[in-house]
Amino acid sequence: YQQSLMTYGRLPAVTRDGSRSVRISANIELVDEIDIAYSHGAEGIGLFRTEYLFLGRPDLPSEEEQFQAYRHVLEHHAPKPVTIRTLDIGGDKIAVSLDTPHETNPALGFRAIRLCLSRTDLFKTQLRAIYRAAVYGNCKLLIPMISCLPELFATKKLLETVKEELRSEGLSYGNDVKLGILVEVPSAVAIADLLAKEVDFFSIGTNDLIQYALAIDRVNEHVNYLYDTLHPAILRLIRQIVSAGQAGGIHVAMCGEMAGDPVNTPILLGLGLDELSMNALAIPLVKKLIRSISMDECRELTWQAFQMSDAREIHGFLESWIRKRF
Ligand code: PEP
Ligand code: MG
């Protein structure tokens, strides 16, 4: 069964009515995972988490070490896109080398882009490595935890500085790197129309978006039972992000765990996502599903799910819809 499923990985993600509107890509956390992504049929890397380079060691990775890692992944997948996420440290991921303060509410604290904008030495080193590596493939840059426009403007300013420095040093760098943000903080959803004017793409980080929107700590076992992917609030937030992205003419991806659960595949297509990035092991089954449904059906199912007010009801509805066809 696993073998026959694997053959779906190699087939294109085209719906029964011929739509190729959704790209299926893989999330990776280590350079070694690129082979698994490839063999399972990833059409690119939708999320390359770079934290592993910083964790479990006393020192910081040099620009050269980072450059080699990014270059390796980019070269391996070229010309397919690789979306490199800048450092998302802090919260539940602590790097000893960074000497970050102890926090009572780390999820709401000094993490990701907040930390990077205050430690520009660290951020610039990573950006230099990414831009230099971008010469070797199709590189996209993804910024985590953006919650307001000033953070994005400060980031863009830093990107320009980095490119200028590389230029003046005579080093070559990618000059067609698309810039995107993770939409994973509710305030970013509320201003998605404004953010869409400033970036080339959105990627929806449902793991954090659900935690922040529902006020449920994603690593707290006592409240886990409330962590509901299909909460009507979450579906509405996703709809809002997609329509702001479409109005702004930009690509909208999803890279949280929600994207790889096959129960969600039809509704995510119906909502109009352009890309689903997931654990590579989930790709063959998701592609198989996509190849057996039509966009019209997905839109109809989505409309029906939006009439429902309860997450369990929506989940039951999606599950039985899929079970009826397989
Ligand atoms: C997310 O928040 O959905 C996400 C993709 O990033 P992470 O799980 O690394 O926070
Ligand atoms: Mg996140």
User: Which is the closest atom of ligand 1 to the Cα of 51?
Assistant: 9
Please check the confidence at residue 218 and state whether its pLDDT lies above 90.
no
User: Which is the closest atom of ligand 1 to the Cα of 49?
Assistant: 9
pLDDT tens for 65-95 read 999 999 999 999 999 999 999 999 987 777 8
The pLDDT assigned to 283 comes to 97
The pLDDT assigned to 91 comes to 76
The residues with which 279 forms a beta bridge, in sequence order, are: 27
pLDDT tens for 277-304 read 999 999 999 999 999 999 999 999 999 9
Regarding predicted confidence, which is higher, 101 or 286? 286
Binding site membership of 88 for ligand 1 (Cβ less than 6 Å): yes
What integer is the mean pLDDT of 213-217? 95
Please check the confidence at residue 1 and state whether its pLDDT lies above 70.
no
**Residue 24 one-letter amino acid:** I
Q: How confident is the model at residue 20 (pLDDT cuts 50, 70, 90)?
A: confident
C-alpha 145 to ligand 2 mean position (Å) = 7
Query: Is 114 marked within a binding site?
Result: no
The pLDDT assigned to 95 comes to 81
Establish whether 255 is a catalytic residue: yes
Q: 45 near 73, Cβ under 8 Å?
A: yes
3-state SS assignment for residue 74: helix
Structure tokens given for 176: 């067609």
The pLDDT assigned to 119 comes to 94
What integer is the mean pLDDT of 101-116? 92
DSSP class per residue in 258-302: GGG-GGGHHHHHHHT-SEEEEEGGGHHHHHHHHTT--HHHHHHHH
C-alpha 202 to ligand 1 mean position (Å) = 13
Q: Which of 116, 139, 255, 298 is catalytic?
A: 255
User: Which is the closest atom of ligand 1 to the Cα of 206?
Assistant: 3
User: Which is the closest atom of ligand 1 to the Cα of 208?
Assistant: 2
pLDDT tens for 226-237 read 999 999 999 999
Q: 145 near 112, Cβ under 8 Å?
A: yes
pLDDT tens for 39-59 read 999 999 999 999 999 998 999
- Over the range 302-322, which residues count as b (16 or more CB within 10 Å of their CB) and which as e? beebbebeebeebbebbeebb
Residue 284 CA to residue 61 CA, distance in Å, equals: 35
| CA-closest residue to ligand 1 atom 1 | 205
Strands (E) in the chain, as ranges, are: 23-28, 45-49, 81-85, 138-143, 178-183, 201-204, 251-254, 275-279
Residue 268 CA to residue 238 CA, distance in Å, equals: 9
What integer is the mean pLDDT of 249-270? 98
Q: Point out the ligand nearest to the CA of residue 83.
A: 1
Residue 298 CA to residue 309 CA, distance in Å, equals: 19
Lowest mean pLDDT among 6-10, 21-25, 213-217: 6-10
**Residue 291 one-letter amino acid:** R
Give the mutation target among 47, 208, 209 for probing the ligand 1 site: most ligand atoms within 8 A of CB: 208
Regarding predicted confidence, which is higher, 8 or 61? 61
Residue 9 CA to residue 283 CA, distance in Å, equals: 6
The pLDDT assigned to 195 comes to 98
Share of the chain above pLDDT 90, in %: 88
> By CB neighbour count within 10 A (0-12 exposed, 13-18 middle, 19+ buried), where does 135 fall?
middle
Neighbours of ion ligand 2 (CB under 5 A): 184, 205, 208
Regarding predicted confidence, which is higher, 258 or 96? 258
Query: Is 207 marked within a binding site?
Result: yes
Q: Point out the ligand nearest to the CA of residue 52.
A: 1
Give the mutation target among 27, 48, 49 for probing the ligand 1 site: most ligand atoms within 8 A of CB: 49
Residue in the structure block whose two tokens are 């087939």: 11
Judge if the upstream peptide bond of residue 79 is cis by omega within 30 degrees of 0.
yes
The pLDDT assigned to 4 comes to 82
Query: Is 59 marked within a binding site?
Result: no
The pLDDT assigned to 291 comes to 95
Count other Cβ atoms within 10 Å, centred on residue 323: 9
ipTM over 0.95: yes
What integer is the mean pLDDT of 256-263? 97
Q: 162 near 127, Cβ under 8 Å?
A: yes
